[in-house]
Chain A
Amino acid sequence: MAHLHDEKIQFIEEKANAIRQSIITMLVHAGSGHTAGPLGMADIFAYLYFHGLKHDSKNPFWEGRDRVVLSNGHICPVLYASMAHSGYFPLEELETLRKFGSRLQGHPHREWLPGLETSSGPLGSGLSQSVGMALADRIDTGSPSERFFFTLMSDGELECGETWEAVQLGAREKLHNLIAIIDRNYIQIDGYTETIMPLDPLRDKFEAFNWHVIEVGGHSIEDIHDAVEQAKAVFGKPSVLIAYTIPGKGVPEFERKFEWHGKPPSEEEGRRALDELRTLGGKIKSEHE
């Protein structure tokens, strides 16, 4: 397994920081939307869009691309920001999020924005769609191909029955180019997942369903890389990354609070958050000082 060079890690970390800043700016402009999930998943998205994925932002319909299905559509600000930063569309367009006529719908709409693989929002359907894509791929190529089918999903949607229907089918079909990444941040709208509907032990559950399970810290680019590389190398079964993330990561004021699941920062909160991100928590001097 090839390790990432330090310069590459730093490059991806800087992209993750830029993506977080865009998320804050977008949400403040939109005046509605979700804050905690997008910030928590910024490192994983930055890794995928700036290293892990086979894709071409200038040719979004390239047949050989890996597919990214965002199942929990509500964290789309992190997807939109990652796409803009990697060249799918101009950065300025990010500020149209959730506005009338925008290609950046409040939950993703595939038809409106090239580079989106599906429309999502209602939870629990993304993994099914990835399984369908991987099955179609196998019919065409005779065996699971070199294209990978990534599903980004929340821990909350593991409460949906359909998710487990898809888990069973993916295992039965031995789709080893199917990789699910679960944002294990332990929060959902009404509170903590383990209070609302206990999900642990997640590793045991997925192993019982015959998936290859990798637990990973969701904020270490190096660890994310190793986990994705391991998942890509697995043969004969699908893989799931249980990525432990901090909801609201990068802005201490928002971190680990389920209250930030479904609301945007106010202008003032946004200003503080951007300052925090630009100075990396005061480690570097703010340009506003």
Chain B
Amino acid sequence: MNELNQNLKLNPHLFEVGVEQTPIRKGYGEGLVIAGDTNPHVVALCADLTESTQTLAFSKKYPNRFIEMGIGEQNMAAVASGMSAMGKVPFITSYAMFSPGRNWEQIRTTVCYNDQNVKIAGSHAGVSVGPDGGTHQAIEDIAIMRVIPRMTVIVPCDTIEARKATVAAAQHKGPVYIRLAREKSPIVTTDDTPFTIGKANLLLQPKDPDVLIIVCGVLVYQSVLAARMLMEKGIRASVLNVHTIKPLDAESILAAARTAGRVVTVEEHQALGGLGSAITELLSEQYPVPIRRIGVPDVFGQSGEPNELLTHFGLDAEGITKSVADFVHPH
């Protein structure tokens, strides 16, 4: 039986039909308040999306430390840089399409090159934004953030991990990008699950695995389900939650890849430039094994229900199961 790693104290109800579901962005809002409680220098900036990015609770509790930026993401990044220069720890929030989508150069120059301690929370990332359509589905953000020197990139898998990531980002010295999703998604972890920036969690590790699934974000749940479905087909799949895409936990990734001998990466992002590329770069240099990348295949998204879109791109449990099975036993 493919059992969850007991050491990680994951949600014991994960495989139940009525598993609790909460939007990942909610954990960001909670984490931001905790960070604000702990550190009086934490400030929050938001570009006209205070409620939907979950910045509202912080803005009500700390109105003097909240700046409404209006629709001006470029200004927001550079204002945050200036606030950091004066000792603040600014969190800037918008939809990922606009921040870091629209303000990449300000993030690159005024934050990262300038070595300022700014945290960027990009909400509503991925195709699961759904009906809003392709304009609002940020599926390039991991690529454009991880390429910048000094940037840490975190993609939490559920609301609890998002809360921990936000608190950890406030304590981390240097720029951090946290990728958040809009839709409700199953809770995979618990308060007791360990979270350290740069430390991957091996969620499932069957004996003698045939394949290793490396995944981040909302698709962690889908991948765990897929591993169960694969087991029914006689394929033993490990699942590694790489919530930090930069810096990569090379040690855990290499160890798990050695054990499995085959790797599939899964992400709600372009298959180009994101998690799959980062893993491919690492393994091709240090331990080349056959790899398949599952992601959006170099196209834009479109309107639809979130689940419909995940299915369309083969990113739900069934799609992942099919791709992994084809990869392990090609016809």
Seen from chain A, the residues whose Cβ lies within 8 Å of a Cβ on chain B are 67, 69, 109-111, 117-122, 124-125, 128-137, 139-140, 161-162, 165-166, 168-169
- A interface, by DSSP: helix, strand, loop or mixed? helix
Q: For the complex formed, measure the closest distance between the CB of B94 and the CB atoms of chain A, giving whole angstroms.
A: 13
Contact across chains for B85 and A139 when beta carbons are under 8 A apart: no
Also in contact, A117 and B85, with CB within 8 A (given A131-B79, A135-B67, A162-B75):
yes
Once the chains bind, are B82 and A119 in contact (CB under 8 Å)?
A: no
A130 touches B72 (CB 8 A): no
Q: Are B80 and A132 in contact (CB under 8 A)?
A: yes
Contact of A135 with B72 in the complex, beta carbons under 8 Å: no
- Cβ contacts under 8 Å, B74 to chain A: 124-125, 128, 161-162, 165
Q: How many A-B residue pairs have CB under 8 A?
A: 100
Select B82's contact among A109, A129, A165, beta carbons within 8 Å: A129
Known pairs A132-B79, A166-B79; A125 contacts B109 (CB<8 A): yes
The docked-state distance in angstroms from the alpha carbon of A121 to that of B65 is 29
If over half of B's interface residues share one DSSP class (helix, strand or loop), that class is named, otherwise mixed; here it is helix
Whole-angstrom CA separation of A140 from B67 in the bound complex? 14
Scoring A67, A162, A168 by chain B CB atoms within 10 A of each residue's CB, the highest score goes to A162
For A165, give its contact among B72, B84, B115 (CB under 8 Å).
Answer: B72
Of the residues A69, A117, A122, A161, contact of B105 by C-beta under 8 Å: A122
Q: A132-B82, A136-B86, A169-B69 are in contact. Are A119 and B110 (CB under 8 A)?
A: yes
Roughly how many angstroms separate A129 CA and B115 CA in the complex, as a whole number? Answer: 13
B297 within 8 A of A: no
A136, B67: Cα distance in complex, Å: 10
Q: Which of B69, B72, B110 contacts A129 (CB 8 A)?
A: B110
- Cβ–Cβ contact B114 & A166, under 8 A: no
Q: B43, B86, B106: which has the most chain A beta carbons within 10 Å? A: B86
Count chain B residues whose beta carbon lies closer than 8 angstroms to a beta carbon of A. 29
CB-CB under 8 A from A162, the residues of chain B are: 72, 74-75, 78, 106
Task: Known A-B contacts: A125-B81, A132-B84, A133-B83. Give 12 more (CB < 8 A).
Answer: A110-B115, A119-B113, A125-B106, A131-B75, A131-B82, A132-B79, A139-B43, A140-B87, A162-B72, A165-B75, A166-B75, A169-B69
B6 on the interface (CB 8 Å rule)?
Answer: no
Nearest chain B CB to A113's CB is how many angstroms away?
Answer: 13
Q: Give 23 pairs: A residue, B residue, CB < 8 Å, sorted on A.
A: A117-B85, A118-B81, A118-B85, A121-B109, A124-B74, A125-B109, A129-B81, A129-B110, A131-B75, A132-B79, A132-B84, A132-B90, A136-B85, A139-B43, A139-B64, A161-B74, A162-B74, A162-B75, A165-B70, A165-B72, A166-B78, A168-B72, A169-B70
State how many angstroms separate the Cβ of A111 from the closest Cβ of chain B.
5
- Decide: A133 and B67 in contact? CB cutoff 8 A: no
B64 engages A125 (CB within 8 Å):
no
Interface residues of B (CB under 8 A from A): 43, 64-65, 67, 69-70, 72, 74-75, 77-88, 90, 105-106, 109-110, 113-115
Q: From residue A148, how far is it (CB to closest CB) to chain B in Å?
A: 13
Residues of A close to B79: CB separation below 8 A: 128-129, 131-132, 135, 166, 169
Contact A119:B86 (CB < 8 A) given known A128-B74, A162-B75, A165-B75: no
Q: Which residue of A lies closest to B106 (CB)?
A: A125
Contacts known (A136-B87, A139-B43, A169-B70); A128 close to B113, Cβ less than 8 A: no
CA distance A117 to B115 in the complex (A): 12
- How far is A67 from B86 in the complex, measured between Cα atoms in Å? 10
Instruction: Please name the residue on chain B nearest to A169 by beta carbon.
Output: B75
Question: With A136-B86, A137-B86, A139-B43 as given contacts, are A110 and B81 in contact (CB-CB < 8 Å)?
Answer: no
Q: In the complex, which residues of chain A have a beta carbon less than 8 angstroms from the beta carbon of B106?
A: 125, 128, 162
Q: How far is the CA of A165 from the CA of B106 in the complex (A)?
A: 13
Residue of B nearest to A117 (CB): B85
**Docked-complex contact A133 and B82, CB < 8 angstroms:** yes
